[in-house]
Amino acid sequence: MGVCAILPGMPYAVTVALLPILALVVFIFGGGEFPDSVGWVGIILAVGGLVMAAPSIFQMLWGGPLLKTEFERYAQGTERMLGIHLKNPPVSRRLLKILGVRREPIAGLEIEMRLIKNNIVLIPARGVGIISGEFPDDKLRSRVSLPPTFSSAAYAVIAGWDEQRNRAVIPANRYRDAVVLEPGYYMAVMLFSKDGVAEKMSRRFVVGDKADDLVWANA
């Protein structure tokens, strides 16, 4: 059986280049003596096992879901909105790509928000509505998935301007009505839950008497 057959997936040139190094390591740690043929077979099989296991190890370390957020103030026409772009970017490092590492999708993402004003908790816990590219409409959903993509796969809506009320609001969701926000400074404490793993993030925003006053505060 050839060495390259024992080390599947490793290029022939790389295998040949590694053989002298392997022999030197064995010689040093073997007390200045080379093993017999049976010992060599065992060593090569052990190295082959490591090579076969390496891709799954690399995938586990660097291929897991990666949530990236980008805060944005949306303004188009008379519409104003404070939201967060949600991304799960693919693996970009060339070496990891060569090793076969691929970004895994986020199967389920939910966001819960606590709203604070003047150190007073106005909303203890409320699900944040998310617009997702996986659905053809722009309805807010409480749970979405994020495939690996460099573009924004979903958009979480934190607050918006209601033209009928002429006030900023926390948008209504499936379970609760919209909440009108009076002018002032607010702190949104958000808990991102992706596939059961939670990550907390906070951001301040400003509400005024006009639509253009609805902005994210400086970080």
List Cα–Cα distances, 180 to 73, 78, 161, 166, 168, in angstroms: 18, 18, 10, 10, 6
List Cα–Cα distances, 142 to 29, 89, 180, 181, in angstroms: 58, 21, 20, 21
Q: Is residue 44 scored above 70 in pLDDT?
A: no
Beta-carbon count within 10 A of 123 CB: 16
Q: 68-216 is classed in which CATH architecture?
A: Sandwich (2.60)
3-state secondary structure of 65: coil
Residue 13 neighbours by CB under 8 Å, 6+ apart: none
Q: Tens digit of pLDDT for each residue in 127-180?
A: 999 999 888 777 899 999 999 998 888 999 999 999 999 999 999 988 889 999
The full length of the chain comes to 219
Q: Look at residues 85, 91, 88 and name the one whose alpha carbon lies nearest to residue 146.
A: 88
Task: Say if CB 113 and CB 173 are below 8 A apart.
Answer: no
Domain boundaries, the chain: 3-62, 68-216
Between 40-49, 59-68, 139-148, 152-161, the lowest mean confidence (pLDDT) is in: 40-49
Q: What is the pTM of this model?
A: 0.73
**Residue 77 Rama label (left phi>0; alpha psi -120 to 50; beta):** left
